[in-house]
Amino acid sequence: MNNPFIELGIRHDIVNAISELGFENPTPIQEQSIPVLLTGSNDFVGLAQTGTGKTAAFGLPLLELLDFEENHPQALVLCPTRELCLQIAKDINNYAKKMNNVHVVAVYGGASISDQLRQIRRGVQVVVATPGRMLDIINRNAIDFSHIKYVVLDEADEMLNMGFQEDIDSILSTTPDEKKTWLFSATMPAEVRRIAKKYMDNPFELTMGTKNTGNQNIEHEYYVVRARDKYAAFKRIVDNNPEIFGIVFCRTKIETQEIAEALIKDGYNADSLHGDLSQQQRDKVMKRYRERSLQLLIATDVAARGIDVNNVTHVINYSLPDEIENYTHRSGRTARAGKSGVSISIVNSKELGKIRQIERVIGKKFIKAEIPSGFDVCEKQLFALVHKVHNVEVNEEQIEQYIPRIMDEFADMSKEDVIKRFASLEFNRFLEYYQNAPDLNAPADDFRSREGAQGDRFNRDGMRAEYTRLFINLGSVDEFNRGDLLGYICNNAKITGRNVGKIDVKGVYSFFEVVNADVDNVMNNFKGVDFKGRPVRIEISGEGVSSSNRGGGGRREGGYQKRESGYRGDRREGGERREKSFAGGGNSGGGFRDFSGKRREDRPERRKRF
């Protein structure tokens, strides 16, 4: 029987290479686009999710169409992120493994430009690039695009979201008019429609599923909780899914960092991925996640773009994205390569409208789920443990020598007693933590939940005032104490000290509260302000992680792993900050034992309001 890729028109050496990658049958997008693209005579618009096999859908036809006896750029693939750029270049190289003289270069920022220039000089036929670095190289006159026959715009909606419109215009203006342009996008907002119109001539359009529709293998769930219970609810969802391998999306870098720090502190196997980390730190985190030595990756939309990790079981929207299109991108990180997955959103009652909006855009209904009870979680964990024990691989050779002693230890117990004890080892921890755990589902008529960083307290004049908590990238390393920082803020923001609330000076950053009426003054007046040559950055702090929600089941493996990230200084600061700054909202009571056997002081879910 013929290989289905051969029937689509792909030659044997490529088919042999992709067979080794496990590609037996083309995915729907490959099946429909490959025959069209192989003609080489059409512009093309493909509306398809990430994870559907897009790379091969354009990569295989490129390998068929280009002339690899010639050593000049003939195809340019533009994509939004460095991760995706590297992935595409690697994929095309893999498809071409059995071909001769195929040269693919990955051109992206944050890495040595001279290496990339050297590869270009040696001769390449396929350039895979992120727009910024590509433009840089074009501006150095270091590449000749006069022989470009095909331009692929991959994840076009993402590139536009990230503000690459002008760069794309400039890059494309250096390519010949006769080239063919193939555009792939997960969603089709008006901006993408516009660039399709601008760069393409009567393109062949292919829509997989309905427009903007997400991957059909994804189940969308939402949980309604009070804003203050969000972190506890989130942990309960995680605890209720013992085998979770997930990506958790936050809205800001600060929130991402805070949630990751809180989770690590609570014994979960988590780390963060956001734009304040260096490329090297991000690579390390991604490596650990890919290798599955991390169970939860806490990420911002931008940092998680282009992540192609298979078998992600859950995407959790800790905060809903501002742009609905981003919801599709987020959820598309699960259910890749034909697998299924769950996209979870944790919302408060004010955000239900947004869920309905997303439903309309993706054309799929969300399932309203209930935060499991403490009892449900304990049961889930118990059986996960039982399952694990049942399936564990026994190293007969090594364990043999200890068996007589172990048998001796248990000589006075029945088989049932021994099993009970093993199961209790882990189970007790959850039982203890979750006994008397409250219902975290928001009552249907609850409209009282408050959002964001805003709080309602008394200001320095003893008047009731609403404050917003702001982040500033200056701290004690810049030789600020609270008084200095207050003066510095008031001088620059041109506000009175009476309108500034609590100030928390940390190492490389600080937090301060300001009455809501002055938030715009602070944000606007700090624009363009430098401190010793460094731009001062002020952001509205995320919702924070209330100490009322701290603690949790946690993961034995993760909590005490040595962390590799070089972000330690900040992290420690963050942890310490949370302990202090949320002390007012904390709860008292028992709490679960941490892994060292010590009792934690906070009982996370019995709540005291301030």
Q: Which residues bind ligand AMP (CB under 6 A)?
A: 22-23, 26-27, 30, 50-56, 308, 310, 336-337
Least distance to ligand AMP, CB of residue 210, Å: 19
Both tokens of residue 546?
Answer: 């209330």
Residues 6+ apart with CB under 8 A from 76: 126, 127, 129, 134, 145, 148, 150, 151, 152, 171, 175
Q: Looking at beta carbons only, is 179 or 336 nearer to ligand AMP?
A: 336
Which of 11, 52, 4, 10 lies closest to 34 in space, CA to CA?
10
Least distance to ligand AMP, CB of residue 7, Å: 13
Q: Looking at beta carbons only, is 34 or 371 nearer to ligand AMP?
A: 34
Residues 6+ apart with CB under 8 A from 304: 247, 249, 273, 297, 330, 333
**Residue for token pair 């969308």:** 220
Q: Looking at beta carbons only, is 246 or 372 nearer to ligand AMP?
A: 246
Least distance to ligand AMP, CB of residue 183, Å: 15
Q: Looking at beta carbons only, is 50 or 547 nearer to ligand AMP?
A: 50
Tell me how far CA of residue 214 lies from CA of 50, 299, 326, 358, 362, in angstroms.
9, 20, 11, 10, 6
Least distance to ligand AMP, CB of residue 27, Å: 5
Least distance to ligand AMP, CB of residue 55, Å: 3
Give the H or E element holding residue 136.
Answer: helix 131-139
**Would you call 127 exposed, middle or buried from its count of C-beta atoms within 10 A (0-12, 13-18, 19+)?**
buried
Least distance to ligand AMP, CB of residue 59, Å: 8
**Residue for token pair 């692929």:** 152
**Residue for token pair 């010639």:** 70
Which of 399, 61, 340, 326 lies closest to 204 in space, CA to CA?
61
Task: Classify strands 296-299 and 270-273 as parallel, antiparallel or unpaired.
Answer: parallel
Q: Looking at beta carbons only, is 307 or 493 nearer to ligand AMP?
A: 307
Least distance to ligand AMP, CB of residue 150, Å: 17
Least distance to ligand AMP, CB of residue 22, Å: 6
Q: Looking at beta carbons only, is 337 or 486 nearer to ligand AMP?
A: 337
Which of 367, 386, 370, 389 lies closest to 378 in space, CA to CA?
386
- 189 alpha carbon, distance to own chain's centre: 22
Least distance to ligand AMP, CB of residue 8, Å: 11
Q: How many CB atoms lie within 10 A of CB 128?
A: 30
Q: Looking at beta carbons only, is 5 or 480 nearer to ligand AMP?
A: 5
Both tokens of residue 135?
Answer: 């433009």
Q: Looking at beta carbons only, is 23 or 430 nearer to ligand AMP?
A: 23
Q: Looking at beta carbons only, is 157 or 308 nearer to ligand AMP?
A: 308
